Amino acid sequence: MSARAGRHLWVAQRVTAMFLGVAVLVHLVTIMVAVRGGLTATEILARTQGATLWFAFYAAFALAAGLHGAIGLRNIAMEWLGWRGRGFDFAWLGIGVVTALFGVRAAWGLYVS
């Protein structure tokens, strides 16, 4: 991987970390507020169905988490296992995208169902 691509990955990981720092807080506070009235599927769906802002928030959350995690795992694998090279880079890209898509799909499910 070129030095430029490596730098962009590093920047992406920092930026997603900044976003995730805020997003995790919002997520945790929402959980704490939500469970006060008892946690039911009906209640969750009432909050999320058709709520475009919640969907946008959790879709962005999932994308950031997928990207952030895959970049971090790539670094660990390079340093600890010596897994370097183009093949591994594509594999990590795939893992990041799949992880993010699972999250987006879940958010979409809560939005439309």
- Of 10, 30, 31, 90, the residue at the interface with other proteins (CB under 8 A) is 10
Residue 7 is a binding residue for other proteins (CB under 8 A): yes
Task: Check if the beta carbon of residue 96 is closer than 8 Å to that of residue 69.
Answer: yes
Residue 75 is a binding residue for other proteins (CB under 8 A): yes
Tokens of 24: 């995790």
User: Nearest-CA neighbor of 106 among 55, 44, 42, 41?
Assistant: 55
Residue number with CB closer to other proteins (2 or 52): 2
Residue 24 is a binding residue for other proteins (CB under 8 A): no
Residue number with CB closer to other proteins (9 or 65): 9
Query: Taking the mean position of all CA atoms in its chain, how far away is CA 41?
Result: 23
Residue 78 is a binding residue for other proteins (CB under 8 A): yes
Q: Cα-flanking dihedrals φ and ψ of residue 37, to 5°?
A: -90, 20
Task: Check if the beta carbon of residue 93 is closer than 8 Å to that of residue 70.
Answer: yes
- Of 47, 79, 94, 98, the residue at the interface with other proteins (CB under 8 A) is 79
Residue 85 is a binding residue for other proteins (CB under 8 A): no
Q: How far apart are CA 1 and CA 12, in angstroms?
A: 15
List of residues contacting other proteins (CB under 8 A): 1-11, 14-15, 75, 78-80, 84
